[in-house]
Amino acid sequence: MSSVTYKNVAKKFGDLTIIKNLNIEVEDKEFLVLVGPSGCGKTTALRLLAGLEEITDGEIIIGDRIVNDVAPKDRDIAMVFQSYALYPHLSVYDNLAFGLKLRKTPKAEIIRRVIEAATILGITDLLERKPRQLSGGQRQRVAVGRAIVREPKVFLFDEPLSNLDAKLRVQMRAEICKLHQRLQTTFIYVTHDQTEAMTMASRIAVINKGNLMQLGTPQNLYDHPNNLFVAGFIGSPAMNFFPAKLTKSGEKVIVDTDEFKVQIPDAHAASYKGMDGRSIIFGIRPENIHDPEFAPPNIHGEKVSAKVDVTELMGNETLLYLVSGNNIFVGRVDPRSNLRVGYQTQFIFDMDKIHIFDAETEEAIR
């Protein structure tokens, strides 16, 4: 079993609390991604698991063993860092074999593991080269290979793709996912890039200021964010937010932002009845704001007048930066749209895809 459990884990540096009562259960063979902004505590959480930092409070359990006082080398984990950390004077083969030699692994076993790892990663033709003779992507593969040869219970990745260019990051994301499927062991991966998190994870843990904000599948976090932070962090471009109030018009529930009013569909309105006058944050994702000419059929659409301020033509889509009174927001529209800077029109909000948050607590109102 290579499950991992954070149980009431806390970490302080002096009076500064970095991790606050973290509780996460990582299932055997799962690919869990810890995501959040820089400085939120996600890398510290990984380093606590690796034994590179000492826990202030709580327990970390790998399998059925509490590892708080277990030395890093005895935790049966392998870590891939943001920096490749390769020995420049050693060949790729010797970099891969170095840790095994320290553990006095038999030579035949070292050869087997190194060749197997190199084959998995497609670097068998690089074994005689030195790190300076490798590209960034090749160096990253060697760093991953050094972890694979250890055959650990748990792989830890600390922002391993941040030094690569955009095209290579996409390629390496796919390769790491294929590696997880092939090795069938537990991966815990840290990143601040929510696109990496959404495309790679079986589950995502969103962390902010040392607190676990939400844990769930990528689709669940996208469709049902628990709070304003998760809603704004998951999704690119980010969700649009509007300060507003809920009001009633007969039996209808209205979102009033001062600049515009939209009606919540009757099928969803029951959740918000009895909240007349309540201050809220109204959220809608850019992909749910449509050019009226290309709005999907059979949606509960509400019209909002706005002016096009900036356009970004992406080929497969067009991003429109829109202005309605004091509100600035983004629409992701059909690439066939002819709307250009300066155009004023009524955009269609898909009201079946809206999100409502309490203005004071910032928690989602279901």
- Is residue 366 pLDDT above 90, yes or no? no
Specify whether the CB–CB gap between 64 and 13 falls below 8 A.
no
Give the fold, CATH level 3, of 4-233: Rossmann fold (3.40.50)
Nearest CA to 188 among 79, 262, 261, 288? 79
What is the band of 136 on the pLDDT scale with cuts at 50, 70, 90? Answer: confident
Joined together, the tokens standing for residue 248 give 């009633």
- Hey, what are 298's tokens? 């059979």
For 43-89, what is each residue's pLDDT tens digit?
999 999 999 999 999 999 999 999 999 999 899 999 988 777 888 99
Shared fold status for 4-233 and 240-358: no
Is pLDDT larger for residue 21 or for residue 150?
Answer: 21
Question: Containing H/E element for 297?
Answer: none
pLDDT for the residue numbered 271: 84
Average pLDDT score over the chain: 92
- Region 213-238: mean pLDDT is 96
Give the residue-averaged pLDDT of 219-226: 96
Mean pLDDT of 162-167: 81
Name the burial class of residue 147, with classes exposed (0-12), middle (13-18) and buried (19+) by CB atoms within 10 angstroms of its CB.
buried
Residue 143 scores a pLDDT above 80 = yes
pLDDT at 1 over 80: no
Cβ within 8 Å of residue 110, ≥6 positions away? 97, 100, 101, 149
* Range 233-243 average pLDDT: 95
pTM: 0.90
- pLDDT at position 265 is 92
pLDDT in tens, 251-296: 899 999 999 999 999 888 888 888 899 999 999 999 999 999 999 9
Q: Which sequence spans correspond to the domains of the chain?
A: 4-233, 240-358
How many whole angstroms separate alpha carbon 333 and alpha carbon 336?
Answer: 8
* Residue whose entry in the numeric block shows the structure tokens 């059925």: 64
Bridge partners (DSSP) of residue 302 are 349
* CATH architecture assignment, domain 240-358: Beta Barrel (2.40)
How much is the pLDDT for 151?
A: 86
254 forms beta bridges with 247, 263
320 C-beta neighbours (distance < 10 Å), count: 25
Tell me what the mean pLDDT of segment 218-245 comes to: 96
pLDDT of residue 121: 85
Residue 152 has pLDDT above 70, yes or no: yes
What pLDDT is stored for residue 85 in this prediction? 81
Listed in sequence order, the residues at least 6 apart from 240 whose beta carbon sits closer than 8 Å to its beta carbon are 283, 284, 285, 286, 289, 329, 330
Confidence of residue 164 (pLDDT cuts 50, 70, 90): confident
Integer Cα distance of 36 and 31 in angstroms: 16
Query: Which residue is associated with the tokens 């690796």?
Result: 50
Pick the residue with more confidence: 167 or 110?
110
pLDDT confidence of residue 95: 93
